[in-house]
Amino acid sequence: MTRLIPALCAAALMTATAQAEVVSSSSARMVLTQEHESTLSKADLWAKLIEPKEWWLHSFSGDPGHMTLELEAGGVWREDWEGGSVTHGHIMAVMHGEMLRLHAPFGPMQEMGLATSLTLSVGEKEGGGSILKMDFVANGAEGSGLTELAPAVDFVWDEALTKLVTDKD
């Protein structure tokens, strides 16, 4: 997975997204935020959010259909397939229809021993539709290289959340 970091960083630098932002980063910390508008109703966006196999693009098995989400505190976002199993995140809080918070060191961050907090919030957009807000914080040891990793993580989340908020299956 660590071989993916340089490729992801390069891809992230080639794509600019107005609603995605690396708020701050250092070798030991990154803070990301994104806001995406959707034509989906708040209820429909929440229903899609809690089915990560419908929108998460990066799976260890190569098939997002292997993903499940246990929607309760202590639950797990996991991927199980013949020959393997991966935990993508541990649920810390759920406010049904409103907010999902996980400890989620995705991909190469798993082997880095990072403390993370991923918050996905769904709200109504004035005039119709909905808004999805993502806040991601990762903390690690000094020298973790999070400054270099932050643009790639932001890119991956922007790609996935763009798919999530799209009114297509």
Q: Can you give the pLDDT at residue 21?
A: 87
Q: Can you give the pLDDT at residue 49?
A: 98
Q: Can you give the pLDDT at residue 168?
A: 72
> Could you give all domains of the chain from N- to C-terminal order, each with its CATH number?
4-13+21-165 (3.30.530.20)
Q: Can you give the pLDDT at residue 20?
A: 77
Q: Can you give the pLDDT at residue 108?
A: 86
Global confidence as pTM: 0.87
List average pLDDT for each run of 10 residues in the chain, which is 169 residues long: 43 42 93 96 97 94 95 97 96 98 93 96 96 97 93 94 86
CB-CB neighbours of 92 under 10 Å? 16
Q: Can you give the pLDDT at residue 7?
A: 41
Measured between alpha carbons, how far is 128 from 151 in angstroms, rounded to an integer? 31
Measured between alpha carbons, how far is 109 from 118 in angstroms, rounded to an integer? 13
